[in-house]
Structure 1
Amino acid sequence: MTDIDWARRLALEPGAAVPLYYQLRERLRAVIAGCAPDTPIPAEKDLMTFAGVSRATARRAIGDLVQEGLLVARQGSGTYTAPLGAASELGARPAGFTETMAKLGRKPTTRVLEAKPRPCPVAVAPALGLEAGAEIVFLERIRLLDGEPCMIESAHLPSELVPGILDEDLTGSLYGLLRLRYGLSPTSGRETIGAVNADYRLAELLHVPIAAALLATSRTTATEAGLPLEYTIRHARGDLAVFSVDLNDAKNVLLGPARP
C-alpha cells in the first residue's frame, strides 16, 4: 500500500453535483480493485485527510463498501480488502460446512454455542414433519475458517432420530456424525438464500459491524427414504462465504422475500 498515492487517488470535486461520500466510495472502489485480498486500507482519520472530507463522509463510504462485501472491518485491527471467499456449492446432494471446506483445502473448525433438547417451534414443525411442541434437538454452532468466525449455524433435528447425540462430539462434521453414528445421510434438500443485517449478537459473534450484510440461508434435508432429517438456519459473513449453484443440477425459483 505504500506505493499508492492516496492524496491523488482520492482527490474529490467539492463543487460537483455528486455527493462527496459517493465520490469517495467510488474512488476507493477503484483503488481496492487492484489490491490483493486482506490488504489494509487507511484509517478513517487518514481518509479524511487524503480526501478532505468529514468523518461522517469517510465512515459512510467505508460502510457502503463493507455492506457490499468489498471491505471487511475487523474490530481492534482496522479495515481490509475482503479475503477470498470460500464457495459452498448448492447442488443435488447436500454437503456440510466441514466437508465442503476440507475439499477446498481450508481449515474448518467449530465451536458449540448451545446444544439442548427443546420443543419444536411452530415455524419449524412442517420442515421436520412434526407436531409443534414435539421434542427436537437444537444445536447452535459457530463455524470458523482458518480461525476466523465465518458462519453461525442453528440446526434442528428430530430427537427420536438422534438419541444420545448430545453426548457426542459436536465440534466436527454433523453430517459425518449422522452417517457414522445413526446411519442417516441427507440425500436431498432445499436451501433458500436471502440477505439480512447483523444484529448485536450476530455482529459480536462474527466479528463484523452491527448492520453488516450477512448471507442468510434456511435448509431442509431428508434421507433417501424421504424422512425429514434437519432444518438449519445459517448466517454467514459475505466476505468469507459465497454460494455457487450448478445450473445443470439445481432449479432456481424466485420465491420473494426470504425469511430464513
Structure 2
Amino acid sequence: MKATQFEFRFRVVIAFLLYVLGFWAPWARYLGGSGRVSTTWLELPGALASAHWLSLENATILVTVIALACAIKGTIFRVWGTAYLGTAIVHDKSMHGAGVVAAGPYRYTRNPLYMGTLIFAIAVSILMPPTGAIFFLAAQAIFYYRLILGEEAYLATQQGEAYLAYKQKVPRFWRSLRARVPAAPAKPQWLTSLLAESYYVGFTACFAILAWRYNAYLLIKCIIICFGASLVIRAILPQTPKHD
C-alpha cells in the first residue's frame, strides 16, 4: 500500500519517531525481566563469540567495521542523490514531477536517497537494544517502501510514458552495476548537498573517529548533536523548489 500525502509531508517527523522508538524500545524492559537494556553492539558480538564463530574481540571489531561501512555507503548515496536532485526538492514537503532526473545515481537506481537511508540505518541500529534495532529496521523498510510506492504513482501520473520508460529500465532500489539510461545534462551541487546531508556526514565522521572507544552512549550523543545541527543548517539553506 502506498503512502498517503500526510505521510510524505511529515516523513521527517515519522522517521524521527521511529528513531525514538528504536532507541527507547519500551517493550525491552519487560521482555527480559531484569529491566536492564543492552545494545545490539554488545549483544551481537557476544552471540557470535558464544557460538564459537569468532572471539569476542574479533566479533566486536567485525560488527563495528560492518556498521562503519554501512554508514559510509549510506552517506555516499545520500550526498550523491541530493547533489543531483537538489536540496530544496529533497527536503520539500510536496512531491515534484516536472521531469525525469536521469543523472548521477539515478541512472543506476530510482531511489538512491531511500537506499542510502536504509543502509545507514543499519549502522545506527547497533546502538539500539536488539529488539529496538529489529523494530527500527523493519519499520524503516516498510515506511520507505510505502513512500516509494506513493512517489511512483505520482510520477507516473505527472510524467506518463517518460517515467514509465525510465521505471522499466532502472531498478527501483538496489543499484545496478551499470548505468541503465543515458546521462541527462545536470550539474551536481556538491557543497550544498554535503551541508543538506550534514546529519549523515557528521555522524559517519563521528562513528569513524569514536567507534573504537566502544562507547554506545557517546555515539548516541553524536546522533543527537548531528541531528540538531542538521536542522539548523537545513533552516538556512535555500528552500525554493519549483512547485508542480
TM-score normalised to the size of structure 1?
0.21
Higher strand share: 1
Q: Which of structures 1 and 2 has the bigger CA Rg?
A: 1
Higher helix share: 2
- Structure with the larger RCO, 1 or 2 (CA within 8 Å, 6+ apart): 2
TM-score normalised to the size of structure 2?
0.22
